[in-house]
């Protein structure tokens, strides 16, 4: 009924508006990443120089511009991956068994504990900043990968457990019941039955935990004193007191998209589940 020309045209018009709204800021910024200092358009126009120089100088640093303090973001990429990797290990190891218990157990205590996780996830991180800062420095762990990943593990643990529980819920109980009757121990059941079947779910949960740590800004900035700066800190740091590298900042921003892009490509369909902590599947 509603397939008239006007209807379809107005749909297309709205779609174009929406696309403009989401993509235009990117497009402009992308052009900036392809120019060099002095060639960013001063008025609404196309840049006169297009080059990948900013990408190489963001990646490897550059003294070529005469101001040698343009730093390479490679160490920051490594920091980000190490911290996120440790966080993934922490969340998976701590969360997997508990997710299994939450999935199979039925009791009020479990329900309360499970909801408590949601409260933790929703607590403003900045409210914990002072005590966590004091704790991490008291253990001598500030400016270390381990210190930051301990905090990120705490922030992502609820999400990991909720997601893993959702995936384990989808595994039928017959197999493990049979195994338990045959005398298998709980650990054996977890290792040989649940883990292989839940592997895709573990991977998805790991991705979410990884990305949550990868993009986290506040704790990364509080706990680092420079040498363990993660990528978001490095990107924002391109605009510092004494120097500003607009082009490298843009180039680094776009390079930082890569892990998120890969994730969306492979696991995009689990996105909604992760965003709602499994409440919407």
Partner 1 sequence: MSHMVSSVARTDRLGQYLLGALLALPFLYIAVFYAYPIYKVVSLSLRDFQIAYGIDDWIGLGNYTELLSSAETWRTLGRTLLYTAICVSVSFGLGLGMALLTVSLADAFSERFGRAFRHIVIAPMIFIPAAAGVMWAFAYTEHYGWVNHILIALGLQAYPWLVSDAAFFLVMVTDIWGWTPFIYLILLAALQSLPQEPIEAARVDGANAWQVFRYVTFPLLKPVIVIALTIKTLDTYRAFDYLWIMTNGGPGTSSTTLNLATYKAAFQNLDFGKASALAVITMIFPLTVMILFLTFRRRGAK
Partner 2 sequence: MSYKMLFARTAAAAVFGLSMIAPATGWAGEFVEGTFPPLKAGKPYAGVTITVPTQKGWASFAPAVELTRNFEEMTGIKVQYDMIPGSDIPSKQLLAVSQNSGTYDIVTQHATSFGSFFRFLTPMTERIEGVWGSVDKFEDWVFPAQKGVKNTDGQHYFMPFHANAQIGYYRKDLFENTAEQAAFKAKYGYDLAPPTTIQQVRDIAAFFTRPDKNLYGLTTNWGGGQGYAAFLGYYSDAGFDLLGADYKPTMKTPEGRQAAIDVLNFMQGSIHKDKIVNPDSANFQTGQVSDFFLSGSSAMAYGWLSDYWSFMQKPENIKQVGPVGAFRFPSFAGEPKGGYSSWWMMGIPKDSKNPDAAWEYIKWILNEHPQIEMAAGQLPPIKDLAYRTAVEPGGINPRALYDAFVEAKITTQVPEMSQQPRTKGVELYTEVIANKITAEQFVDGYVAEIEKTLTSAGYIK
User: According to CB under 8 A, which residues from 212 to 241 bind partner 2?
Assistant: 225-227, 229, 233, 237, 239-241
What is the rounded distance in angstroms from the CA atom of residue 194 to the CA atom of residue 263?
24
Q: Which of 34, 62, 84, 100 binds partner 1 (CB under 8 A)?
A: 100
What is the rounded distance in angstroms from the CA atom of residue 162 to the CA atom of residue 171?
15
Of the pair 105, 196, the CB lying nearest partner 1 is at 105
DSSP 277: T
Of the pair 48, 107, the CB lying nearest partner 1 is at 107
Lookup result for tokens 């680094």 = 252
What angle, 0 to 180 degrees and rounded to 10, lies between the N-to-C axes of helices 195-215 and 145-169? 140
**Which x/- pattern, by CB under 8 A, does the window 144-163 give for partner 1?**
------xx-xx--x---x--
Of the pair 144, 149, the CB lying nearest partner 2 is at 144
Query: Taking CB under 8 A as the rule, does residue 242 contact partner 2?
Result: yes
What is the rounded distance in angstroms from the CA atom of residue 146 to the CA atom of residue 78?
13
Q: Which of 66, 140, 187, 242 binds partner 1 (CB under 8 A)?
A: 187
Q: Which of residues 23-52 bind partner 1 (CB under 8 A)?
A: 23-26, 28-29, 32, 40-44
Which of these, 15, 44, 16, lies nearest to 28 by C-alpha position? 44
Q: Which of 9, 68, 185, 276 binds partner 2 (CB under 8 A)?
A: 68
Q: Which residues pair with 62 in a beta bridge?
A: 70
Q: Which of residues 20-49 bind partner 2 (CB under 8 A)?
A: 37-38, 40, 42-43
Rounded alpha-carbon distances, angstroms, from residue 151 to 23, 154, 223: 34, 5, 10
Strands (E), 117-208: none
Q: Which of residues 193-252 bind partner 1 (CB under 8 A)?
A: 214-215, 217-218, 222, 231-233, 235-236, 238-239, 246, 249-250, 252
CB of 10 closer than 8 Å to CB of 228: no
Q: Which residues pair with 70 in a beta bridge?
A: 62
Query: Taking CB under 8 A as the rule, does residue 78 contact partner 2?
Result: no
Q: Which of residues 252-271 bind partner 1 (CB under 8 A)?
A: 252-253, 256-257, 260-261, 264, 271
Of the pair 66, 268, the CB lying nearest partner 1 is at 268
Alpha-carbon torsion angle 43, 44, 45, 48, nearest 10: 30
Of the pair 90, 237, the CB lying nearest partner 2 is at 237
Query: Taking CB under 8 A as the rule, does residue 131 contact partner 2?
Result: no
Cα 238 → chain centroid: 21
Query: Taking CB under 8 A as the rule, does residue 121 contact partner 2?
Result: no
């Amino acid at each position: 009924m509603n397939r008239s020309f006007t209807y379809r045209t107005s749909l297309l018009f709205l779609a174009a508006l929406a696309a403009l709204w989401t993509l235009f800021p990117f497009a402009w910024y992308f052009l900036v990443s392809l120019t060099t200092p002095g060639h960013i358009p001063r008025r609404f126009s196309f840049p006169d120089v297009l080059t990948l120089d900013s990408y190489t100088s963001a990646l490897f640093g550059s003294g070529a511009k005469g101001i040698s303090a343009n730093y390479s973001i490679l160490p920051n990429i490594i920091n980000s991956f190490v911290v996120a990797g440790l966080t993934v290990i922490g969340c998976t190891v701590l969360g997997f068994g508990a997710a299994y218990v939450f999935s199979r157990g039925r009791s009020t205590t479990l329900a309360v504990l499970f909801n408590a996780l949601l409260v933790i996830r929703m607590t403003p991180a900045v409210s914990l900043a002072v005590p966590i800062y004091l704790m991490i420095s008291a253990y001598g762990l500030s400016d270390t990968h381990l210190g930051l990943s301990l905090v990120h593990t705490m922030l992502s643990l609820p999400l990991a457990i909720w997601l893993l529980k959702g995936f384990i819920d989808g595994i039928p109980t017959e197999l493990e019941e049979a195994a338990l009757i045959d005398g298998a121990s709980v650990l054996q059941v977890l290792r040989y039955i649940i883990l292989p079947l839940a592997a895709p779910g573990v991977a998805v949960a790991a991705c979410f935990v990884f990305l949550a740590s990868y993009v986290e800004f506040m704790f990364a900035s509080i706990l680092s004193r420079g040498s363990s700066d993660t990528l978001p800190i490095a990107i924002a740091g391109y605009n510092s007191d004494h120097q500003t590298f607009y082009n490298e900042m843009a180039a680094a921003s776009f390079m930082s998209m890569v892990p998120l892009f890969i994730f969306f490509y492979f696991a995009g369909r689990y996105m909604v589940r992760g965003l709602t902590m499994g409440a919407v599947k």
